[in-house]
Amino acid sequence: MLAKRIIPCLDVRDGRVVKGTKFTNIHDVDDPKVLGKRYSEDGADELVFYDITASHEERQTSLEFVEQVALEINIPFCVGGGIRTMDDIKTILRKGADKVSLNSGALDNPSLIQEASQKYGAQCIVLSIDVKEENGQYLVYRNGGRINTRIDAIEWAKQGVALGAGELVINSINYDGMKNGFDITLLNKITAVVNVPVIASGGAGSINDFIELGKRTTADGFLAASVFHFGEINIPTLKETLNREGISVRIER
């Protein structure tokens, strides 16, 4: 069984890591390179950085922090936000990121997934999907969770993988920042129809939430933000606990 990955998520705005609830009420946390280095030393398996206002402000991802992070850490990291073109992808990878995360840009131009996957390899191309459940339907939102596309999230996940996305990040807007656990139902619907790694995002509040995620879904990565940023969950302790519960994770010896 492949080890589950523990992935801190760092939302970046104006060069600073921030965190909110349901994509609103944003608060300052720390410097991206400082926090990234801390997580790398603590045993995180990967990091994800999102420039959370790039798409909404119709600009490219701020790249200064990407270079700084690449110099500070020794684990893989992914960067997303405002990525619309092949040139955007090339630049971010050249700055040192291991993966790029497509979201609104892929919704505007689905062929970007295919072109990028063919040029750089599916392992570099992550499709991030912001999902909100409304009246029993799982709908895709864009521009940092601001705009309802009316696209079915399950179908978009399938399409994204068919086009060449090598990994999915499923962000539950309903659960984001609520600390009541992950959206198990949504994750099981997604993992049932795709054959690539799925990263669960939104809702982590305790170690028990990670245990439930590991036992009730086949998600490959466990992503969280505030519980790590504010010291509520220690990554080594989380990994040791998951391992004792029979959930395979990488533990440094």
Report the catalytic residues. Answer: 11, 130
Q: Percentage helix, strand, coil, to 5, in the chain?
A: 35, 30, 35
Query: What span, in angstroms and rounded, lies between the C-alpha atoms of 149 and 7?
Result: 27
Residues 6+ apart with CB under 8 A from 33: 65, 68, 69, 71, 72
Q: How many CB atoms lie within 10 A of CB 54?
A: 25
Query: What span, in angstroms and rounded, lies between the C-alpha atoms of 25 and 168?
Result: 26
Residue 100's nearest CA partner among 55, 142, 48, 145 is 48
Give 127's strand partners: 102, 168
Q: At CA 179, angle to CA 175 and CA 184, rounded to 5?
A: 50
Helix ranges restricted to H, 15-110: 32-42, 64-72, 86-94, 104-108
Q: Residue 223 is encoded by which pair of tokens?
A: 């992503």
The distance of Cα 193 from the centroid of its chain, to the nearest Å, equals: 19
Q: Give the amino acid at 199.
A: I
3-class SS of residue 251: coil
